[in-house]
Homo-oligomer: A and B are copies of this chain.
C-alpha cells in the first residue's frame, strides 16, 4: 500500500482481502466478485461483493491522476481523494445517517473503502421517473444545516476554523468550478461549451445581458473569496443517493471553505432543472402539474427545514447573537442561494457538463423548450435575488415564469 497504482477488477479484490477494516463485512477467505462501475468524470469505482451473498458489498473509490472523461491529457490532482476522505469524515461525524460509512482511507493509493448504498439510486434518475421522496427535504435540510453551521465561524473557534480553511484549500477542483460554472458558459464559442443548436438565439441573448454578466461576476467573486463554511461544493442531485426513506450525500471531493449559498443553491437549482425537464418527460398536463407542484413544494421544504435547523443550532451555540442579525444573515443566505441556483442551472445548459434530466429528452425541439424555460427561470432568480426575503417568494418567482410556447 505504499505507492499509488490504479486498481483493476482483480487487484481491487486483492486489495480488499488485505484491508483489515473491510473484514467487518467481507471475509478475506470468501469468494468475492468485482465490477468497475464508475460513470462519473473523475474516478474509478469498484463494487466488491460476496459471491455467496451479493448484498454484502463494499465500494472502493479511487482517484485517477487525470480527468477520466477527457483522458491523461487533462491531469488532475489526486489530493482530491484526501479532501473527499476528510470531508466525508466530518459529514459522518455530523450526520452519520446521511452519508456512506467509510471503512478505510488509503492516502498513497488515493482511495476510500466505503459502504455500498444498496438499494439507493442517484436522485436525478428518480426525479426523471417522477418518484417522490417524502423524507428528502428533512434529510437534506438537516445535512445542509449541520455541515454549514458546524464548520463555520458561527460555531468553531476562530483558530480552528482558520486551520480548517488551510486544510481544505482545494486549488484544482475550485479552479474547475470557477471555469466551468462561472466563466466558460458565458463565453460564446468557448471550445468546452456545448448547447442544443435550437437555443442559439436564447444563448446569444443571455450572453449579451450585461446586468446578468455583472451579477455573474459577483457570484464568481463570492465563490472565490467567501470562506464561510466547509461546503460540499458539488451538491447536485447526482451527488445524492436516495430511496423513499433514506438520503445519502456522496462525493464531496470539491469540498472547500466557500459560500454557504453555493450548496443550498445547488440543491434548489437542480430541483428546478427537474421541474423544467417535465415539460417534456410528463406530457399529461395534470400529472405534470402535480409532479411540478411536488418539486416546488420540495424547494420550499428544503429551505424551511434548513433554515429552522440552522437557527436551532445557532441559538443553542450562541444565545448572545442578536435575532436581528440571525434574520438578516438568513435573508442574505437565501439571496445567495437564488444566485448560485441560477448559475448552476445556466451552466448545465450552456457549459461543458449537462444533466440527464434534460439530455434524456430525445426530441431536440422538446428539449429546447425545457432548456429555454430553465434559462428564463434562472435569469430573474439571479437578477432579482436581492428582493427575496422568504423562500415562498423564490418559489413564486420561479413559478411565475411561463413555459415557452
Contacts and interface: CB of A to CB of B under 8 A. Distances in A.
Contacts of A161: 224
Given A158-B171, A169-B162, A175-B158, A153 B221 contact: yes
Classify the interface of chain A: helix, strand, loop or mixed. Answer: helix
A171 B162 contact: yes
Contacts of A224: 153, 158, 161
Contact of A166 (B166, B210, B221): B166
A322 interface: yes
Contact of A217 (B166, B228, B321): B321
Contacts of A172: 159
B153 A213 contact: no
B322 A210 contact: yes
Interface in A143-191: 153, 158-159, 161-163, 165-166, 169, 171-172, 174-175, 178
Number of copies: 2
A291 B225 CA distance: 39
Contact of A225 (B153, B171, B213, B325): B153
A171 B165 CA distance: 11
A4 interface: no
A214 B171 contact: no
20 contacts: A153-B225, A158-B174, A158-B178, A159-B171, A159-B172, A162-B171, A162-B174, A163-B171, A165-B169, A165-B227, A166-B166, A210-B322, A211-B324, A213-B325, A214-B324, A214-B325, A217-B325, A218-B325, A225-B227, A227-B227
Given A162-B171, A213-B325, A217-B329, 11 more contacts: A158-B174, A159-B171, A162-B174, A163-B169, A163-B171, A165-B166, A165-B227, A213-B322, A218-B325, A225-B226, A225-B228
